[in-house]
Amino acid sequence: MADHLSTARVQRWVHGFTDAVEERGEYLTDLDRRSGDGDFGTNMTTALRRARRALAEADTRAGAGSAFQVLGETFLGHSGGTSGPLFGMWFRDFGKVGAGSGAFSLPMLAEASANGWATVTRLGSARVGDRTMVDAIAPASRALDEAAEAGSPLAEALEAAAAAAHEGAEGTSGLLGRRGRTSYVGEAALGSPDPGAVTIALFYRAAREALDA
């Protein structure tokens, strides 16, 4: 199995992620209805569809990061609200790390995750436990870091990151929101996970699957 995600595999990653979010669009919107204003799934799929069109026109063979650069620019250019721009900056960090390289290695993925985590924390002022996308990003980033340090195979590392992100996302069901719109509804959101965290879990799962494809 490959020990890196080539530009072609990154394309599969991005498309697999887009498919996964589209499939769960209604579920994500429903989650947002419980905790926010109920437009998360729609906003996300609209932005991703636009990104898919932009990807079709862009030269994404330039480097492993270019698909993420397109994704980032699309989200920052067309997505209103607050989660859209934060996802834009998240993708942008993957675009930056991958720029100029032919593939993502495990240390590069760990670096991009860590940078993205720092960016989202800085701009969104959210920490672990605030019931946001950070609750999925943090455990996944830690898993990638540990795997990179241990020199684990990429497949194992991505499996660990995807599982950690999923667990982190599910764990938001029991958390009270402190940032964003969810902070206004308080306990009413308990019992369902944060849609942003769920989306991050889909992102890492798609990376793992792109390796097999």
Partner 1 sequence: MRRQFINDPGEVVSEALEGFAAAWPRHVRWNSEPGYLVRASPARDKVALVSGGGSGHEPLHAGFVGAGMLDAAVPGAVFASPTAVQIREASLAAHTGRGVLHVVKNYTGDVLNFRIAGELLADEGVASDIVLVDDDLATDTAEGPGRRGTAAVVAVEKVCGAAAEEGADLAALAALGRRVVAGSRTLSVALAAGAHPGQSRPSFDLPDGEVEFGVGIHGERARERRAFAPTRELVPQLVSPLVEALELGRGERVITIVNGLGATTDLELYGVFREVRRLLAEAGVEPARALVGSYVTSLDMAGCSVTLVRADEEVLRLWDAPAATPALTW
The contact set with partner 1 (CB under 8 A) reads 73, 76-82, 85-86, 88-89, 123-124, 180
Half-sphere exposure of 172 (CA within 13 A, CB side): 37
Q: How far is the CB of 82 from partner 1 (least distance, A)?
A: 5
Q: How far is the CB of 170 from partner 1 (least distance, A)?
A: 27
Q: How far is the CB of 63 from partner 1 (least distance, A)?
A: 16
Place of tokens 């938001």: 172
Closest CA to 32 of 139, 177, 163, 174: 177
Q: Which is nearer to partner 1, 69 or 159 (CB)?
A: 69
Q: Which is nearer to partner 1, 123 or 213 (CB)?
A: 123
Q: Cα(196)–Cα(193) distance, rounded to whole angstroms?
A: 9
Q: Which is nearer to partner 1, 124 or 193 (CB)?
A: 124
Cβ neighbour number for residue 102 with a 10 Å cutoff: 12
Q: Which is nearer to partner 1, 61 or 122 (CB)?
A: 122
* Residue type at position 190: L
Q: How far is the CB of 78 from partner 1 (least distance, A)?
A: 6
Q: Where are the alpha helices (DSSP H) in 4-153?
A: 7-23, 25-35, 40-57, 66-78, 83-98, 106-124, 134-150
Q: Which is nearer to partner 1, 125 or 213 (CB)?
A: 125
Residue 40 Cα distances to 6, 62, 119, 172, angstroms: 30, 31, 20, 16
The answer to whether residues 20 and 204 touch, using CB atoms and an 8 Å cutoff, is: no
Both tokens of 113, joined, read 């995750």
Q: Which is nearer to partner 1, 93 or 135 (CB)?
A: 93
Q: How far is the CB of 122 from partner 1 (least distance, A)?
A: 9
Q: How far is the CB of 96 from partner 1 (least distance, A)?
A: 9
Q: Cα(163)–Cα(201) distance, rounded to whole angstroms?
A: 8
